[in-house]
Structure 1
Amino acid sequence: MDWQTLATQLFGSNHGIRRDGDFLHGDVVFDGQPLAVIGTTDHAPIGVQLALTQARAVLDMLAQHPGRPLLLLIDTQGQQLRRRDELLGINRAMAHLGMCLDLARRRGHRVLGLVYDQALSGGFITSGLMADACDALPEAEIRVMRLPAMARVTKLPEALLAELSESNPVFAPGVRNYVAMGGVRRLWEGDLAQALRQALADAPTDDQRAADGAARGGRKLAARVIHQVLAAD
């Protein structure tokens, strides 16, 4: 689904969300209450400029609209693979964006992520996975690493990883596998406005992803390991 269709279904034709290049931003009214919207479109690569632009928008919201909920609309191919961005410190720019979102959460802003098209690697980690909860449309595509790249990193045969991906969501791309692992809380189906209404109403205040992954059978050990580490402290 393109961002304009999504925005119209959620907020009506006069939604007020604007596009500047690959950057989406605006303040909308939902159920009579203001809601900030920040996002990306056209499978945007997240480079230094786009990461800092999003971070600036988050900081402006913190300064001008304390407590306002934030919806992140996510469509990204991941970090910008360009020498210029590497030399400028893309890792620090993306970490800055993630910290700004974390600061918003700590200051009482409900931060929701919605993957409406594509979410890959670092561009997803520093946006949707930094939210209180990240949801997705059923047709969205989510992955952090393709199997060929995973084979190069792990030194395992790609055929073995492909076999493992059939039974273990950790090795497999796809939005439903991320639901199973707990990275995506739920899929928005049917009435999208009602799905947003529910997401705002029951956004968690603590990180439930490991517990969700264990309950859904997608990440069986993460919650147990976290518990053991905390108990050891």
Structure 2
Amino acid sequence: MPAKMPLDRILASLFPAGHSVRVTDGLITGEGPLDGTRLVVVGIDGDTALGVEGALALSRAVLDAVKTGDKAPILVAVDSDSQRMSRRDELLGLYECLAHLAKSLLLADRLGHPTVGLIYGHSAAGAFIATALATRVLAALPGASPSVMDLPSVARVTKLPLDKLEAMAASTPVFAPGLDNMVATGAVHAVLDPEQPLDAQLSALLADLPAGDTRDRLGRERGGRPMAQAIAERVVSQARGG
């Protein structure tokens, strides 16, 4: 697997003229110039687990960006652990805080702030869903290792033997973690080239953003989720009485 690109190199490539992005307790916040406008940056660095405080702090950063009314694009950079597995966080309603963060990003995008995720390290489970997957499109850098759930955890939940899941994962991307499988299922829209300037690549991605969520279509075209688009369309049609 390629080495993970560190955040300082990513930021230098995104903002050659400088930026105000900072990392505090594993949380990324700040902004920098991109194509004559500002790019808001939020996220998680250093394989940090996302807990109640972190989810609320990132939500506030997103909503503060929305309040400006300037419709600046928002980049969600992610190198996280999963959500923080503590009794305290669960008792404080971590699931609601993660949902609040996801909804904040969805609201921002709906109100005219294009949202793009960038996974450059690890991420999993609720932290992955509430950040990277809550953006309109998700880009990645080589060396990223995303997963919704690792196979040992899938085995515990489904009660299926791990060796059977590993065999299924070899031919069915939806069962398997990892960047290549996330690309095949359509979860990752594009993989960027770390050897080329990231500002130009992100500008091109923003200029060609799809109007809505195209993950199911990409999954069909790439062979990772051949049935998802058709099933989703049937559900929508039936819900509308078609």
TM over 0.5: yes
* Distance of 1:13 and 1:5 partners within structure 2: 13
Instruction: Calculate the TM-score normalised by the size of structure 1.
Output: 0.97
1:202 matched to 2:208: yes
Instruction: Calculate the TM-score normalised by the size of structure 2.
Output: 0.93
- Opposite residue 208 of structure 1, the aligned amino acid is T
* Distance of 1:148 and 1:17 partners within structure 2: 36
Q: Render the CA deviation track for 1:111-149: whole Å, top value 9, x for unaligned.
A: 000001112111110111111100100210011111111
Match of 2:90 among 86, 89, 109: 86
Gap regions ≥5 residues in structure 2: none
1:54 matched to 2:58: yes
Quick one: percent identity of the two aligned structures? 39
Q: Number of residue pairs matched?
A: 233
Q: Render the CA deviation track for 1:80-137: whole Å, top value 9, x for unaligned.
A: 0011101110011111111111110110110000001112111110111111100100
Aligned-pair distance for 1:13? 6.4
- Opposite residue 212 of structure 2, the aligned amino acid is D
Q: How does 1:41-120 map to 2 (within 5 A)?
A: 41-120=45-124
- Opposite residue 170 of structure 1, the aligned amino acid is V
Show the counterpart of 1:18.
22
Which range is displaced more, 11-20 or 202-211?
11-20
- Opposite residue 140 of structure 1, the aligned amino acid is A
Counterpart contact for 2:39–2:75, Cα < 8 Å: yes
Counterpart contact for 2:114–2:206, Cα < 8 Å: yes
* Distance of 1:26 and 1:160 partners within structure 2: 45
Helix, strand or coil at the partner of 1:24: strand
1:225 matched to 2:231: yes
Cα RMSD, aligned residues only = 1.1
Show the counterpart of 1:185.
189
Show the counterpart of 1:211.
217
Show the counterpart of 1:160.
164
* Distance of 1:174 and 1:34 partners within structure 2: 32
Q: Render the CA deviation track for 1:61-93: whole Å, top value 9, x for unaligned.
A: 111243111001011111000111011100111
* Distance of 2:166 and 2:31 partners within structure 1: 43
Show the counterpart of 1:27.
31
